[in-house]
Structures are given as structure tokens and as C-alpha cells.
Amino acid sequence: MTRSIRRLAPETASRIAAGEVVERPLSALKELLENALDAGARSIEVRVERSLDHAFSVADDGHGIAAAELELALERHCTSKLESLDDLDRLASLGFRGEALPSIAAVSRLALASRPAGERAGATISAEGGTVVARASAARAPGTTVEVRDLFFNTPARRKFMGSPAGELRAALRLLEAYALAFPEVTLRLLVDGKERLHWPAAAAAAGMAARRERAAALWTARHAGQLIEARGEREGVVVEALLGLPEHARATREGQVFLVNRRWVQSPLLGAALRQAYGNLIPPGRFPSATLWLTVPAARLDVNVHPTKREVRFADDERVFSLVASACAKPLSGLQPPFTVVPGGAAADRTAYPAWADRVNERPPDQTYLGLDLPPPPAGSAPAAAAPAAAEPELWQLHRTYILAPVRGGLVIVDQHAAHERILYEEALQRLEGERGTAQQLLFPALVDLTNDQFELLLELGPDLRQLGWDLSLLGPPTVVIQGIPSGFRHERPGQLLQDVLDGMNEGTGRAAPEDLAHRLASSWACHAATRAGDPLTQEEMRALVDRLFATSRPHGDPHGRTTFVRLELDELHRRFGRT
């Protein structure tokens, strides 16, 4: 079963996608994990000391490396998995380039220890910055352990572009999850600073969907796994199998999606689009279904040699794969009802319903500067400002459930309800994070939420901040959390989804997170997901509160991303246009 490691012929080596293999600490872990899986391991243990860039190791019980070949394993373009490019058409392994170990060794202090199955003893070698500095024989169980210390110690410039250690560890959880789903028959364990963080025993079921469901239950709780919908389709040798999340499990990012092609974890806009198509209007725009897809494609009709990190693949026939995945996944979803209501109107309807002159309202951009805003006093004899204005004479109007029209002295202000609410919640959140804790609004029925493992990890980190915002949460064994209360001051029907969206929103944008902007990130993610949306109907009182609170913020002109919150139309401008001057 063990093939020997050989140097690729130069002409073969030159046609292997070249480039950076070890972009970040996570890539090093990914390569070592793939090597262990390629070696036929039944059990893999990952140990992290402090952070991935400080030290980590991957130990497996696979077929091992012959003592005489350890040095070769650290040499570029030396691999036991490929002899010629033609072999790519029959490829059954995750690796094939013979570049991972040498690339990692070049930027770290690496120790490689191995004992081939059937040998009586093993050997170890250590390298620093790619140079072998020590060799010894070693007593150990059959299998291989690779330890990587001080990653990027000799390339300080690279260190600067590294994500936060905590972010990198969360990404590692996603990686382990993905490969756990791809290889349900392999036991996976992760220890951080000696403490067990996860342990997924090999599935008892031999293979197929039964084993995958078992794995999903280990990853996300049996309750969550039980809700996943199974899909299957096959066409011309391509097989797709899937576990699809319910529409209400859709997330604000693509992080709930795992695509496995011939057991390789890949990114694929094509598969993402096919999945989205399958859900149709079951999911509102801007959200992404959660799902795991297992694709089996004949090796000859799949190009894995596209990208140095092997995260991308190319199908010989994109369209066929797209339609197979979209139709296979749509089938079991067809009986479900959309969990949201469609807003009547909307931008497209506006365009067709109005006469042609309506386009001309955009002729001149309105003035966007904010100059002291005076709401006109209530008409004489009406109720005091605190009471609700009489319904018959609304002072504010909601336009297309998106904009609030507010007459002001000397003109009219048009407020974008979502952007305005974002600004308000953002400032409020920052105040709560830096000062007095926000109050919680207790839920009548505490909500039980199954988070993903990376969301749970993030929750552990952000716990105190979330409490400061007004969340009342208790942890119920990873990855389940009980929501007892949510920050007071607004309504929200799905607290669990809100919590997940806020956590997911923390990862949006750049991969780098300086600790000092954590508060800013949390505040803007909270604001973005908790804010009322375009399409939400608002009452008079809600509109009034929103406008009042907007203009009480420090920067009413824009939301936290810099988008405009309101525009002002001057009465003078209207007079001029109507020829009244």
C-alpha cells in the first residue's frame, strides 16, 4: 500500500499549479491534515499550543513513511502520489504536488516522525527554515506525526499579514468540520493547550448517508442533524448527495456551506449558485442556504490542478454539474413553504407601475448635508408630543416600507429606515460596550439554538461583550446555547437567527481583526442584523422614534458603513421647480 516517494520529472513539476501553498497558518494545517487522510489514517489528532503559528502538530495512524525517505518528503516536487501528469486523471488522493511539506518546512521549525506499518521502529528528522538539522531513530506507534513550530519565524513580513490567532483557530474548526464530513470513518480530535476541544469518533455506519448523518449529529447535535433534508441525484457518472438545512437555517454568509468534491473541500461559486437556485424563494435575497454537498465526479472530468492551495476545482462540464445539483436539491425542498412574507411593491414593481415622468425625479441629486433639523410643532390643540398622533393626520409617512418621509421646517427629509436604524443601534452598542450594560428583554420562552462549532467558539470569546449589549445567554454544552433574553428596545421574532447572524457578521470583510476593533465589529454586525429592514412596516410611533433617535446620534448622516441615512429636500428648491420664486 505504501508507495515510495519519488522526484517528479522537471516537465511534470513545471505543469503543476505553482504559487504560494502556505498563505497562512491555516493552510499548513490543511496540508498536514490532507496528508494524514491520504495515508489512510483511521484516527487523527491535532494539537495546538497557544496558536497555530506558535506550534501545532498532526498525528495519524496511517501507512507511514520509510525511514530512508524522510528527507525526500521535505524536498520539493517529491511525492508518492503522482508519477506523470496522466495520473491526475486517475487521482484518488488529496495531494499530488509534493510541495506542501517543503513549503511548510521552509518557513518554520518542523519535526517529522514516522514509522511505516510493518516496520519495527521509526525515525525522526527536524528541519529549520527548510534545512535538515537533526535525525534520529524513534520508538513510536505506526503512523506519522508532523510538528510545526514558529511558523514564519524567518519571514517577518509574512507575519504581519496574518489574521488574529483566535480567528485562525475558528477557521481551523471549519476545516476540521469539512474534512470530518468528507471522511466520516475517521476519528478526529482537537486539543488546544492540552485541553480537548472536540472529539468526533468514527461513524459506526459503514458508509453512505447513514455515516454522514451520524457525523453531522456529532458535529451539530442530533437534534439539528435530524432536521437536515437529504437529496440525491446522478447523471452520466456524476453523483451529488446532500444534507440540506431548512430555509430558516439560512445564514447571512456562506459559512454554512460545505462543498466536497471527491472528498476534497473546495470553494465553488458554481455549486453555491446551484444551491441557491434550488432554494428559490424559500430564502429571502441576501441570505445563503446552509448545506453540505458531496459530489463524486470521474477524476478525468475534474481538474484539481487549478490553484496552488487546491481549494478550487474545474469541472469538464459546468452546466451539467449546475443543473444536476440545482435539480437534485430542489426536489426534496419543493414541499416547503417560504418562512417569510413577500413584500408587495419593491423596486421592480415601482418602475413598471409609474408613468414615464417618474424617472425624472432623479434629475438633480438632493442636497445631502445636514443643517439643523427642526420638526414642525404639532398642530395647535393636538395631543402632546409623547402621545401617538391621531391616525387620521399622520405627520410621517412610510414610502414603500423603505423610506420615512418627515416634513421639517423648510422642507422634507427622506430617511432610509434600515440605514437610520443601523446608525442608531451602532452608537447605542458602542456605548453599551464601553459603559453601562444594556438591559435584557426576557423571552417568554427561552430559545434553544444549535450554533456551528466556529460560531460557538466565537461566542465563548465574545460572551462578556454580548452580555454587555444586553444578551442573556447560557451555554448548554457545545455547540448549543440558550437565549433567555435579548437586548431590549426592539422587536425580533427569531432571536436564534439574530444571534447567529451577529456572530457570522463578525467574520465579514477582511480576515484580519485587530483586537482594538473588536468592539467596532461587534457593534456594526449587531446594528446591521438587528436593524429593521426595508419591507418592514412601521407604525407612526416607531417612525417618530426612529427619526428622533437618528438625529440624537453623533453622526446622523451615514450608517456605520458610510451609506447615506437621509436626504433633505428644500422647500425653496420645490418652489423654484414649480416656478414659485
From Mg ion, ligand ADP, none, interface partner of 65 (C-beta below 5 to 8 A by class): ligand ADP
Which of these segments, 30-38, 158-166, 179-187, 195-203, binds Mg ion (CB under 5 A)?
30-38
The answer to whether residue 472 forms part of the interface with ligand ADP (CB under 6 A) is: no
In the complex, what is the shortest distance from the CB of residue 227 to ligand ADP, in angstroms, rounded to a whole number? 36
Give yes or no for a contact between 499 and 505, defined as CB atoms under 8 angstroms apart: no
96 part of the interface to ligand ADP, by CB under 6 A: yes
3-state secondary structure of 525: helix
CA dist 62 → 4, 35, 294 (Å): 14, 9, 24
**Contact call for residue 35 and ligand ADP (CB under 6 A):** yes
Binding-site partner at residue 5 among Mg ion, ligand ADP, none, CB < 5 to 8 Å by type: ligand ADP
Q: Distance of CA 497 to CAs 90, 252, 451, 500, Å?
A: 43, 9, 10, 5
User: Would you say 474 and 518 are in contact if contact means Cβ atoms under 8 Å apart?
Assistant: no
How would DSSP label each residue in 143-179? EEEEEEESTTTT-HHHHHT---HHHHHHHHHHHHHHH
**Cβ-proximal residue to Mg ion, closest one:** 95
SS (H, E, C) 470-511: CCEEEECCCCEEEEEEEECCCCCCCHHHHHHHHHHHCCCCCC
Identity of the amino acid at 433: L
Separation between Cα atoms, residue 499 and residue 486, nearest integer Å? 9
Footprint of Mg ion on 153-182 (CB under 5 A) = none
Residue 82 C-beta: closest distance to Mg ion, Å: 11
**Residue from the set 64, 247, 411, 560 that interacts with ligand ADP by CB under 6 A:** 64
With 0-12 / 13-18 / 19 or more C-beta atoms within 10 angstroms meaning exposed / middle / buried, residue 467 is middle
CA dihedral 441, 442, 448, 452 (to 10 degrees): 30
* Using rule CB under 6 A, residue 309 touches ligand ADP: no
Beta bridge partners of 302: 315
Nearer to Mg ion, 309 or 453 (CB): 309
Q: How far is the CB of 166 from ligand ADP (least distance, A)?
A: 27
> Which of the residues 360 through 419 are near ligand ADP (CB under 6 A)?
none
In terms of CB distance, is 13 or 275 closer to ligand ADP?
Answer: 13
Does 77 sit near ligand ADP (CB under 6 A)? no
Single out the residue of 62, 95, 116, 184 in contact with Mg ion (rule: CB under 5 A).
Answer: 95
Give me the amino acid identity at 323: S
Can you tell me which of 29, 39, 469, 502 binds ligand ADP, judged by CB under 6 A?
39
Give CA separation, 371 vs 99, 406, 411, in Å. 62, 15, 11
**115 binds ligand ADP, rule: CB under 6 A:** no
Rounded to an integer, what distance in angstroms lies between the CA atom of residue 453 and that of residue 278?
A: 26
Q: Which is nearer to ligand ADP, 112 or 499 (CB)?
A: 112
Q: CB nearer to Mg ion: give 35 or 257.
A: 35
> Is 107 an interacting residue with respect to ligand ADP (CB under 6 A)?
no
CA distance 442 to 472: 8
Instruction: Give the x-and-dash track for 137-166 against ligand ADP (CB under 6 A).
Output: -------x----------------------
* Span of 76-84, 229-237, 400-408, 446-454 interacting with ligand ADP by CB under 6 A: 76-84
100 forms part of the interface with ligand ADP (CB under 6 A): yes
> Which residues of the shown chain bind Mg ion in the complex (CB under 5 A)?
35, 95, 100
> Which residues of the shown chain bind ligand ADP in the complex (CB under 6 A)?
5, 31, 35-36, 39, 60, 62-65, 73, 79-81, 95-101, 144
